[in-house]
């Protein structure tokens, strides 16, 4: 047996022994995610046990260095762990903007003190982060943001507001883009700064979405005082950090579709529509749509796998995550359109126990944000056109 085979066998055995049965079923919506943080509550004992065991092994962030609370796994072992978790349908023990977005940016741009301070808390799920990027007049055109940070000795004083801040009302800390040089060209006067959401002058207000939920907020800053040492990277060079983080956000969002671990579409459809005497779904056109969807989904999975391998080989184009984000989110929207068709009238129920309070309809509505959040599909295509294909024009 090679070392990797041994690792696989040990990992399989460990997961088998340590992953509770309840944590091997698909998540039923946001509530099933464990987000960590100072006020975190577990929804079940199994969720707690699973999280704590994974945390103690450093497997909430398997590929981060052990000194920062990670598992220290190399690429090959990380892949094995993911495969073994997928094989038993194990849920992710911790959902976290800290893991998906801030962590990678800190690992690359943070100083030693910032890494030592923040990374272990992210790994152990102690601090929940939110992302303060978008503003009412700076969405797709993010670099036109206006939230100001003015110098006052060793501190910055921050004034302005953010919008669409997901889970700002639950978050402990925020990673935030602020304008530190109003006279510079718009990309050159931005800094990337971290601060506590309980700081004086920070308030949030939830926004209700079409899905009937309010996962995000307007966020207001009124003379918030933040030490300059909380700037990540160089002052006024925050755009580099922001862009690097966005690559990770986009890669993460592109993989979201598969993450719900849902049942295969063909089975879901057969359950509600029935099959003909040859075992074929009783709706030939929908069956064709599902088959085409399955082709695209399988091919996308190959591309995601290849992207990891290309990155390892140093051959991945830095803007490739935009292509994947675009494709993955459009595909996920298609998936939910098909789920709604397969469900028919039953999928339209909104408030009933039978429909788990309209779980399917709410999930469908939520996916419409996939091609907006983290940069819209149009913006992703623009990035591919300019940065990868090198097409001309502004």
Partner 1 sequence: MALVLTEEQTMLRDSARGLIGDKAPVAHLRRLRDERDATGFSRELWKSFAEMGFAGLLVPEEFGGSGLGCVEAGVVMEEIGRNLTPSPQLSTAILAASALARGGSEAQKKAYLPKLADGSLIAALAVDEGAKHRPAKIAMTATRAGNGFKLKGDKALVVDGHVADLLIVAARSAGQPGDADGLTLFLVDSKAKGVAIERTVMVDAHNAARISFDDVEVNADQVLGEVDRGGALLEAVLNVGRAAVAAEMLGVADEAFGRTVSYLKERKQFGKLIGEFQALQHRAAHLYTEIEILRAAVLKALQAVDADAVQARVAVSVAKAKAGTVATLAVQEGVQMHGGMGMTDQFDIGLFMKRARVLQELLGDSAYHAEALAEWKKY
Name the binder of 348 from ligand FAD, partner 1, none, CB < 5-8 A by kind: none
Task: Please provide residue 269's backbone torsions phi and psi, each rounded to the nearest 5 degrees.
Answer: -65, -40
Q: Does 348 bind partner 1 (CB under 8 A)?
A: no
Among residue numbers 200 through 239, which ones bind ligand FAD (CB under 6 A)? 216
Chosen residue from 60, 95, 131, 341 binding ligand FAD by CB under 6 A: 131
**If binding is defined by CB under 8 A, does position 334 make contact with partner 1?**
no
The CA distance from 192 to 194, in Å, is 7
Give me the long-range contacts of 214-217 (CB less than 8 A, separation at least 24): 215/30, 215/166, 215/167, 216/164, 216/165, 216/166, 216/167, 216/168, 217/165, 217/166, 217/167, 217/168, 217/169
Nearer to ligand FAD, 216 or 364 (CB): 216
Query: Contact region for partner 1 (CB under 8 A) — 88-96, 188-196, 234-242, 279-287?
Result: 279-287
User: Of the candidates 105, 394, 77, which has an alpha carbon nearest to the alpha carbon of residue 252?
Assistant: 105
Q: Which sign does the torsion angle of CA 247, 139, 213, 330 carry? A: negative
Report the residue number, 16 or 276, with the smaller CB distance to partner 1: 276
Question: In the block, which residue shows the tokens 């966020």?
Answer: 219
Applying CB under 6 A, which of residues 210, 306, 378, 391 lies at the interface with ligand FAD?
378
Of 164 and 320, CB closest to ligand FAD: 164
Is 2 one of the binding residues for partner 1 (CB under 8 A)?
no
Report if residue 6 touches ligand FAD, rule: CB under 6 A.
no
Contact between 147 and ligand FAD by CB under 6 A: the answer reads no
Pick from 62, 50, 73, 53: nearest CA to 99: 62
**Contact flag: residue 29 with ligand FAD (CB under 6 A):** no
- Return the number of the residue (146 or 376) whose C-beta is nearest partner 1: 376
Assess 29 for contact with partner 1 (CB under 8 A). Answer: no
Q: Whole-angstrom Cα distance, residue 290 to residue 266? A: 7
Tokens representing residue 261 in the block: 């671990």
Binding site for ligand FAD (CB under 6 A): 130-134, 139-140, 164-166, 216, 369, 372-376, 378-379, 382
């Amino acid at each position: 047996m090679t070392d990797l085979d041994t690792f696989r066998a040990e990992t399989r055995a460990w997961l088998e022994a340590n992953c509770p049965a309840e944590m091997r079923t698909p998540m039923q919506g946001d509530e099933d995610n464990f987000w960590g943080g100072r006020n975190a509550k577990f929804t079940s004992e199994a969720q707690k046990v699973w999280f704590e065991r994974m945390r103690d092994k450093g497997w909430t962030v398997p590929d981060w260095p052990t000194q920062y609370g990670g598992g220290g796994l190399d690429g090959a072992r990380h892949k094995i762990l993911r495969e073994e978790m997928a094989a038993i349908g194990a849920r992710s023990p911790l959902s976290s903007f800290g893991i998906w977005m801030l962590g990678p940016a800190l690992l690359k741009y943070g100083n030693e003190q910032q890494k030592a301070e923040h990374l272990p808390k992210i790994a152990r799920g102690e601090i929940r982060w939110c992302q303060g990027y978008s503003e009412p007049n700076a969405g797709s055109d993010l670099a036109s943001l206006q939230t100001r940070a003015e110098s006052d000795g060793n501190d910055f004083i921050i004034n302005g507001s953010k919008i669409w801040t997901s889970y700002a009302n639950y978050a402990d800390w925020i990673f935030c883009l602020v304008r530190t040089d109003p006279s510079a060209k718009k990309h050159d006067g931005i800094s990337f700064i971290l601060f506590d959401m309980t700081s004086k002058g920070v308030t949030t207000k939830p926004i209700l979405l079409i899905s009937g939920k309010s996962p995000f907020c307007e966020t207001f800053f009124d003379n918030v005082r933040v030490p300059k040492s909380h700037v990540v990277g160089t002052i006024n060079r925050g755009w580099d950090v922001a862009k690097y983080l966005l690559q990770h956000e986009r890669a993460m969002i592109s993989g979201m579709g598969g993450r719900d671990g849902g049942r295969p579409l063909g089975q879901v459809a057969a359950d509600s529509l029935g099959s003909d005497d040859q075992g074929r779904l009783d709706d030939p056109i929908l069956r064709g749509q599902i088959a085409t969807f399955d082709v695209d989904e399988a091919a996308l999975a190959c591309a995601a796998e290849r992207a990891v391998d290309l990155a390892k080989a140093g051959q991945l184009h830095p803007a490739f995550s935009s292509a994947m984000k675009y494709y993955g989110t459009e595909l996920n929207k298609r998936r939910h359109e098909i789920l709604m068709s397969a469900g028919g009238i039953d999928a339209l129920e909104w408030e009933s126990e039978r429909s788990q309070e309209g779980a399917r309809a709410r999930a469908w509505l939520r996916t419409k944000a996939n091609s907006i959040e983290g940069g819209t599909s149009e913006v992703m295509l623009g990035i591919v056109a300019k940065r990868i294909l090198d097409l001309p024009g502004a």
